Amino acid sequence: MADLFRLDGKTVAVIGAGSGIGAAVAAGAARQGARVVCLDIAADSAIATADAITKAGGRADPVTVDIADPAATDAAMAHVREQTGSLDGVVCTPSINVRKQLLNYSEDEFDRVVRLNLKGSFNVVRAAGRVMVAQKSGSIVVFSSIRSLVVEPGQAIYAMTKAGIVQLVRGAACEFGAAGVRVNALGPGVVETPLTAPIKANAEWYEAYAKKSILKRWAKAEEMVGPTIFLISEAASFVTGTILYADGGWLAADGRFTPPGM
């Protein structure tokens, strides 16, 4: 059964590989035997992740890309295919969040969040889809969130983009499936990453989030590796058009109070 999760002979492109979940997933894919292409808007970060993988005995190459730029994203996916001979898996992790209540949101802030989270994800799915449909194989994983289903004050726009990603994935899966290409989303809960560093710095806020999950803690970036590898591997060969939540039970728990005697 372990062979189902192996990625030997496959090329996996990880976008956002310069830090956080993306860096963890890139390293995890390499450990499973993949040739990894580490893509990030920050060239130095992409190089650092690729170097770390290489020093650990894996194969990795850095590529700089801004996924909000459709032409650059198309070029990056085509480049991976040309350089490695295939594009077997694509993992898209980047997102940003401007935490503000809706009435205080500026148009510029709205555009920034939507441009990366939603348009960027669209650009990746379209660019990867073009390559994979032509080669008649491949798996795409786009990171959504528990915020695709639940929300709190200050999260409306971020949540909107994460819900949009789920529908983007479903639509792409419907369109690419005949060519043997799978498209899925991964929905983390709270994960310790650079994006969530401001929350971690606030002890009360950090603890409130920890208590909300059934496991009573935050996830580490490395804990997103297993679910992601599953979705891009042959272990998930009949899984497409869906979202896998890796949230420590956040969505399963209704409320924070345990009644007496329970």
Structural domain boundaries of the chain? Answer: 2-245
158 is catalytic: yes
Up-side HSE of residue 157: CA atoms within 13 Å toward CB?
Answer: 24
Selected catalytic residue, list 158, 206, 209, 245: 158
pLDDT reported for residue 200 = 87
Give pLDDT tens digits for 23-73: 999 999 999 999 999 999 999 999 999 999 999 999 999 999 999 999 999
Each residue of 209-248: pLDDT tens digit? 999 999 999 999 999 999 999 999 999 999 999 999 999 9
The two tokens of residue 48 are: 């650092």
Compute the distance between CA of residue 139 and CA of residue 236 in angstroms, rounded to an integer.
9
- According to the CATH classification, is domain 2-245 in 3.40.50.150? no
